[in-house]
A and B are shown apart, each in its own frame.
Chain A
Amino acid sequence: MAGEPRSVAFRRSREATWRRLEALVERVEQRGPEALDADDARALPRLYRATASALSVARAIALDRNLLDYLESLTARAWLCVYGPKRRVGESLARFARWWPAAVRRLGGPIGLAALALVAGAIAGFALTVGDIDLFYAFVAEGYAQGRDPTTPTAELRDGLYGEHDGRDMLLTFASFLFGHNARIGIAAFGLGALFGLPTLYLMLSNGLLLGAFAGLYHVRGLSLDLWGWLLPHGVTELGAVVICGGAGVALARAVLYPGRRTRWDALVHAGRTAAGVVMGAVVMLFVAGLIEGLFRQLVQDIVVRYAVAGATAIGWAAYIVLVGRETDGAGEGDP
Chain B
Amino acid sequence: MKREYSITTPEGIALGFRRANLGDRFAAFLVDMGIISLVVIAAFLPAVWIGGGDLAIALALLVGFLARTFYFTLFEWRRRGRTPGKKRLGLRVVDARGGVLSPGAIVARNLTRELETFIPLVAAFEPEMLIDGGTALTRWITLAWLIVFGLLPVITRERLRLGDIVAGTRVVALPEVALLPDLAAAPITERDALYAFTPAQLGHYGNRELHVLEDVLRRPYVEPATLRVISEKIRRRIGWPDDSPVEPRRFLEDFYAAQRAGLERGLLFGRRHADKAAARAARSPGDRS
Taking Cβ atoms with an 8 Å cutoff, the residues of A that contact B are 1-8, 11-12, 15, 18-19, 22, 28-29, 32, 49, 52-53, 55-56, 60-67, 69-70, 72-77, 79-81, 83-85, 87, 89, 92, 96, 138-141, 143-144, 168, 171-172, 174-176, 178-179, 181, 184, 187-188, 191-192, 194-195, 199, 202, 206, 209-210, 252, 265, 268-270, 272-277, 279-280, 283, 335-336
B81 contacts A80, C-beta separation under 8 Å: yes
**Residues of B close to A60: CB separation below 8 A:** 267
B182 contacts A52, C-beta separation under 8 Å: no
Distance in angstroms from A145 CB to nearest chain B CB is 9
**Residues of B close to A6: CB separation below 8 A:** 261, 264-265, 268
Whether a CB of chain A sits under 8 angstroms from the CB of B184 is yes
A178, B261: Cα distance in complex, Å:
65
- Among A3, A49, A63: residue with most chain B CB under 10 A: A63
**Residues of B close to A168: CB separation below 8 A:** 51, 54-55
**What DSSP secondary structure best describes chain A's contact surface?**
helix
Mask: chain B, 67-81; 1 = CB below 8 Å from A; 0 = not: 000000010011111
Asked if A140 meets B133 with Cβ closer than 8 Å, knowing A4-B184, A8-B184, A70-B179, the reply is yes
Cross-interface CB contact of B179 among A67, A85, A140, A202, cutoff 8 Å: A67
Question: For chain B residues 262-281, which have a beta carbon within 8 Å of chain A?
Answer: 262-265, 267-268
A200, B29: Cα distance in complex, Å:
29
Asked if A64 meets B260 with Cβ closer than 8 Å, knowing A52-B11, A73-B176, A140-B133, the reply is yes
User: Can you list 14 A-B pairs with a CB-CB distance of less than 8 A?
Assistant: A1-B193, A2-B257, A4-B184, A6-B265, A8-B184, A77-B80, A80-B92, A85-B100, A140-B132, A184-B129, A187-B114, A206-B134, A272-B168, A335-B105
Cross-interface CB contact of B77 among A83, A85, A270, cutoff 8 Å: A85
A272 contacts B166, C-beta separation under 8 Å: yes
**Residues of B close to A279: CB separation below 8 A:** 111
A178 contacts B177, C-beta separation under 8 Å: no
Distance in angstroms from B80 CB to nearest chain A CB is 5
**Residues of B close to A77: CB separation below 8 A:** 80, 174, 176
B176 contacts A191, C-beta separation under 8 Å: no
Cross-interface CB contact of B101 among A5, A22, A85, A272, cutoff 8 Å: A85
Whether a CB of chain A sits under 8 angstroms from the CB of B119 is yes
**Residues of B close to A3: CB separation below 8 A:** 261
Cross-interface CB contact of A66 among B87, B104, B180, cutoff 8 Å: B180
Interface-located stretch among B33-41, B206-214, B233-241: B206-214
Question: For chain B residues 40-99, which have a beta carbon within 8 Å of chain A?
Answer: 51, 54-55, 57-59, 61-62, 65, 74, 77-82, 87, 92, 94, 96, 99
Cross-interface CB contact of A63 among B11, B16, B94, B207, cutoff 8 Å: B207
B261 contacts A5, C-beta separation under 8 Å: yes
Whether a CB of chain A sits under 8 angstroms from the CB of B178 is yes
**Residues of A close to B17: CB separation below 8 A:** 76
Asked if A5 meets B61 with Cβ closer than 8 Å, knowing A61-B264, A64-B182, A70-B177, the reply is no
B55 contacts A171, C-beta separation under 8 Å: yes
Question: For chain B residues 104-160, which have a beta carbon within 8 Å of chain A?
Answer: 104-108, 111-112, 114-115, 119, 128-134, 138, 142, 145, 149
A102, B264: Cα distance in complex, Å:
57
Asked if A210 meets B115 with Cβ closer than 8 Å, knowing A61-B267, A81-B80, the reply is no
**Residues of A close to B129: CB separation below 8 A:** 143, 179, 184
**Residues of A close to B57: CB separation below 8 A:** 175
Cross-interface CB contact of B177 among A61, A73, A172, A181, cutoff 8 Å: A73
Distance in angstroms from B94 CB to nearest chain A CB is 7
Cross-interface CB contact of B65 among A72, A179, A335, cutoff 8 Å: A179
Interface residues on B, range: 35 or more
B179 contacts A18, C-beta separation under 8 Å: yes
**What DSSP secondary structure best describes chain B's contact surface?**
helix
A63 contacts B260, C-beta separation under 8 Å: yes
Taking Cβ atoms with an 8 Å cutoff, the residues of B that contact A are 1, 9-11, 13, 15-17, 51, 54-55, 57-59, 61-62, 65, 74, 77-82, 87, 92, 94, 96, 99-108, 111-112, 114-115, 119, 128-134, 138, 142, 145, 149, 162, 165-168, 174-180, 182-185, 188, 193, 196-197, 199, 202, 207, 210-211, 214, 218, 257-265, 267-268
**Residues of A close to B107: CB separation below 8 A:** 276-277, 280, 336
A92, B107: Cα distance in complex, Å:
12
**Residues of B close to A274: CB separation below 8 A:** 104
B197 contacts A2, C-beta separation under 8 Å: yes
**Residues of A close to B188: CB separation below 8 A:** 4, 8
B77 contacts A187, C-beta separation under 8 Å: no
B1 contacts A69, C-beta separation under 8 Å: yes
A85 contacts B15, C-beta separation under 8 Å: no
- Among A140, A252, A279: residue with most chain B CB under 10 A: A279
**Residues of B close to A53: CB separation below 8 A:** 11, 13
Asked if A178 meets B80 with Cβ closer than 8 Å, knowing A168-B54, A191-B112, the reply is no
Closest to A1 in B: B196
Closest to B1 in A: A69
A171 contacts B133, C-beta separation under 8 Å: no
